[in-house]
């Protein structure tokens, strides 16, 4: 059974304090690993897709990396507007569409 575990469940940072969120996964093959951002009352907003170990993607203060067992979302010098829940999802090798999500990490960045 495909599993996605995100840690920590919640993270509080001061503005400018860099950190990383973790997404560990167990899946039969990996067609893709997806990061989403979710603001309160909104649907998940797509950030990145990673396909193979060693791959990295960047967007503003966010950088996502992938190994064979986990993915990290690095947040450099975060701002209060980066506060959100960050969700990780995997698309297993045996499916073209069925995402399995983790529970997310609630990030709060204080000014």
Partner 1 sequence: GAGVSQSPRYKVTKRGQDVALRCDPISGHVSLYWYRQALGQGPEFLTYFNYEAQQDKSGLPNDRFSAERPEGSISTLTIQRTEQRDSAMYRCASSLGQGGNQPQHFGDGTRLSIL
**Shortest Cβ 92–partner 1 spacing (Å):** 10
Of residues 36-65, those binding partner 1 (CB under 8 A) = 36, 41-46, 49, 51
Q: CB neighbours of 82 closer than 8 A, spacing ≥ 6?
A: 61, 62, 75, 107, 109
Q: Which of 25, 102, 107, 109 binds partner 1 (CB under 8 A)?
A: 102
- Measured CA to CA, the distance from residue 78 to residue 109 in angstroms comes to 7
Best CA proximity match to 45, nearest among 53, 55, 34: 34
Q: Is 62 helix (H, G, I), strand (E, B) or coil?
A: strand
- Measured CA to CA, the distance from residue 101 to residue 70 in angstroms comes to 13
**Shortest Cβ 23–partner 1 spacing (Å):** 11
Region of 14-22, 54-62, 74-82, 102-110 interacting with partner 1 (CB under 8 A): 102-110
Q: Which of 4, 21, 64, 107 binds partner 1 (CB under 8 A)?
A: 4
Q: CB neighbours of 103 closer than 8 A, spacing ≥ 6?
A: 6, 9
Of residues 60-89, those binding partner 1 (CB under 8 A) = 87, 89
Q: Which residues bind partner 1 (CB under 8 A)?
A: 4, 31-32, 34, 36, 41-46, 49, 51, 87, 89, 91, 96-104
């Amino acid at each position: 059974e495909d599993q996605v575990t995100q840690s920590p469940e919640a993270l509080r940072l001061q503005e400018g304090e860099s950190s990383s969120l973790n997404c560990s996964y167990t899946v039969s093959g990996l067609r893709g690993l997806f990061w989403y951002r979710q603001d309160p009352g909104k649907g998940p907003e797509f950030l990145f897709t990673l396909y193979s170990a060693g791959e990295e993607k960047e967007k503003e203060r966010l950088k996502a990396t992938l190994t064979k067992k986990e993915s990290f979302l690095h947040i450099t010098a975060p701002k209060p507007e980066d506060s959100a829940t960050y969700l990780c999802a995997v698309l297993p090798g045996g499916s073209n569409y069925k995402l399995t999500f983790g529970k997310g990490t609630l990030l709060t960045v204080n000014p």
